[in-house]
Amino acid sequence: MLRIGVIGCGTIGTSICKAIDDGIIKAELVAIYDRNKDDVDRLLSTLKISNPQIIEPATMIKQIDLLVECASQKAVYEVIPAALLAHCDVMVMSVGAFADEKLRKTIENLAIDNNCKVYLPSGAIVGLDGIKSASVEDIYSVTLTTQKPPRGLAGAPFIIRNKIELDKITSKTILFEGSASEAVKAFPANVNVAATLSLAGLGFEKTKVRIVANPALTRNIHEISVEGAFGEFTTRVENVPSPTNPKSSYLASLSAIATLKKISNPFQTGT
C-alpha cells in the first residue's frame, strides 16, 4: 500500500488526510507535519482510523513513498528537492513556486536523476487536457480571469503593498492585470491555478492573468480563454469556496484527492 506523508495541515491537507482515513484514497497515512500545532491538532481530531506520526520533513521523507505538499511556496523550496534526493515521489499544491525557473529546472532534473515523479493536480480549474493537446501545435494566447469576493483576497502581498481596502469595494473591480509570473508573486495564496495553467501551455511570461474583486459573488470564478492553431475555447468554473478557507476553492481539494486516487489505484481510466 502506498505510504503517504502530508506537509501542511490546513484546508487541503486536512481534506486529503480525511479522504485517506475514509478509504477514498487507498493508501496509508504515515506522517503529517505543520509548524502550526493548532492545525495539526485539529487535523488529528478529524481522523477515526489513521494514526499518523508527527514528523519533521527531513525524517518523514525517509519513511514514505509519496510526499504531499500543502503548505506554501516556501515549503516547495525547502522540502521538495530533499524528498526527490531521498527517492520519494512528490505531489505539489503550491504550484506558484514554479514561477521560479531555476527551482523548476532543479526539481525537474532531480526527478529525472532519481527516477521520481512530480504530480501537479489541476486545482480549481478545468480544461488542462485541452491546453496540453493544443500545445502540440502553436498556442497564440492564454488568458485567465479570476473573480473572487473581496475577502478571499485578504492578505495577498499585492493588496498589502498597494494598501487596498477590500471592505470598501462595492462593485466589480479589476485589481490586477499582468503575466502569470507576476500574478503568482502578487497573490501567492489565490492563483496557483495561474501557475498550473502556465506549465500546461505558454509558460509564465506569456500567460495573461486578470484578478477581479467582485462583492456580488459568493463563489470563486475562473475563466480561461485559449486561442491557437486548433481554434479557440473558453472554460468557466464557478467554485464554491472552501468552508474553512475563503481563499481556496473547494475544487482544489477535490483535485488533490482525485490525483491521489489515481496514483494509488492500479486500475486506471482515461489518461
Cβ–Cβ contacts within 10 Å for residue 91, how many? 22
Q: Where are the extended beta strands (E) located within 104-183?
A: 118-119, 139-148, 173-179
- If phi > 0 it is left, if psi is from -120 to 50 it is alpha, else beta; for residue 270 that is left
Question: Of 34, 29, 28, which Cα lies nearest the Cα of 8?
Answer: 34
Question: Of 131, 252, 235, which Cα lies nearest the Cα of 191?
Answer: 252
Of these residues, 18, 148, 208, 222, which one is catalytic?
Answer: 222
CB burial class (10 A; 0-12, 13-18, 19+) of residue 105? exposed
Question: Is the Cα dihedral 95, 98, 36, 82 positive or negative?
Answer: positive
AA letter at 179? S
Distance CA 119, CA 269 (A): 17
List the end-to-end C-alpha distance of the chain, in Å, as a whole number: 22
C-alpha distance from residue 268 to each of 16, 133, 157, 179, 261 (Å)? 20, 20, 41, 36, 10
Catalytic site includes residue 222 = yes
Question: Of 233, 179, 188, 169, which Cα lies nearest the Cα of 206?
Answer: 179
Residue positions annotated with a catalytic role: 222
